[in-house]
Structure 1
Amino acid sequence: MAILEKNYEVDNRTGLNHEGPDANIPVRRLTATSIIGDRVENPIGENLGKIDNLMVNLHSGHIEYAVIDFGSFLGIGGKLYAIPFAELRLDPDRELFILNRDKDYLKTIPGFDKTHWPDTNDHSYFNDVNTYWGTPYPNSNY
């Protein structure tokens, strides 16, 4: 019986379903639902939490921030932190994101409670967040 070899690059362009361990390698795009819930670790493997949500700039269409749930246990306690999405690096083999910071750093940056979000349309909140990351607000016009 002949074994057919798959050409995943061709499959991806056709819109047909593809399978196998390398079907989406290299990873270029992910759905929001596949990112939300992903673990976040630092380079030495410390658990920094999970991605709770994504903040999308409606004018540019870019993900500006990942909202990280840090310090909770079984969804109780902890705080949420807005992390510039550009600070995260995907580790596709381990199916998680890497943030190049330690746990103590997350304890020093502005966070918020799960039941009391900041005004996400207020530039001052994100300007404060970006001060800690050393990055300017991605699009100060919006």
Structure 2
Amino acid sequence: MSALDPQGSPSGAGARIVGTGVGDGPGPDVMAADTLDGTKVVTSDGEDVGKISDIMLDVRAGRIAYAVLSEGGFLGMGTTLHAMPWSALTLDTDAKCFRVDISAQQLKDDPGFDKDHWPAMADTTWGTQVHQYYNRSPYWSATRDLDSGIDTDI
């Protein structure tokens, strides 16, 4: 049996999708990454904390590793970036936003990084800390059970 995150999804799974929004063409289950850039992120206490600026892929594993939230700043100046585990996000198709299950203050307490000093995202020590901050199992610890189609933790 797989471990479940606080929203009832397998802890290593991708982003959840809620809402009734189904558009023409692809989506919301399969979408081009660039269509999600600029999507606002709303915290558990209802605060709009920024927008998705990048979606980071684990090229070797063929998975989405992180969404990068751009928070604060003006015209790119003073902006703080935050790597968020993809599984920590819920796409709300009705509100056209991502929701994350932490408070705005918790997000602001995360030191993040700036556009000129990105962390080594392939470093599992760094990645484990990020996933723990968002109460998620690291994405690389989940495997797909091909018989059942269910993600399970190793």
Q: Do the structures match in fold with TM over 0.5?
A: yes
Q: Secondary structure at the match of 2:49?
A: strand
Q: 1:100 to 1:24 in 2, by over 3 A?
A: farther
For residues 22 and 57 of structure 1, the distance between their equivalents in structure 2, rounded to whole angstroms, comes to: 28
For residues 66 and 111 of structure 1, the distance between their equivalents in structure 2, rounded to whole angstroms, comes to: 13
- TM-score (norm: length of structure 2): 0.68
Aligned runs of 1:1-142 on 2, under 5 Å? 22-24=23-25, 27-139=28-140
Q: 1:80 to 1:22 in 2, by over 3 A?
A: closer
Q: Secondary structure at the match of 2:52?
A: strand
Point out the structure with the larger helix share. Answer: 1
Q: 1:95 to 1:24 in 2, by over 3 A?
A: farther
Point out the structure with the larger strand share. Answer: 2
User: Corresponding residue for 1:3?
Assistant: none
Q: 1:134 to 1:22 in 2, by over 3 A?
A: closer
Q: 1:22 to 1:129 in 2, by over 3 A?
A: closer
Fraction of identical pairs, as percent: 34
Q: Quick one: which amino acid aligns to residue 108 of structure 2? A: K
Q: Quick one: which amino acid aligns to residue 103 of structure 1? A: A
For residues 28 and 88 of structure 1, the distance between their equivalents in structure 2, rounded to whole angstroms, comes to: 14
Which structure is richer in relative contact order (CA contacts within 8 A, separation 6 or more)? Answer: 2
**Count of residue pairs brought into register by the alignment:** 120
- TM-score (norm: length of structure 1): 0.73
Structure 1 unpaired stretches of 5+:
1-20
**TM-superposition CA deviations, 1:54-94 (whole Å, max 9, x none):** 11112331112101011223322131111011111111123
Q: Quick one: which amino acid aligns to residue 41 of structure 2? A: V
The CA RMSD measured in Å over matched residues stands at: 2.2
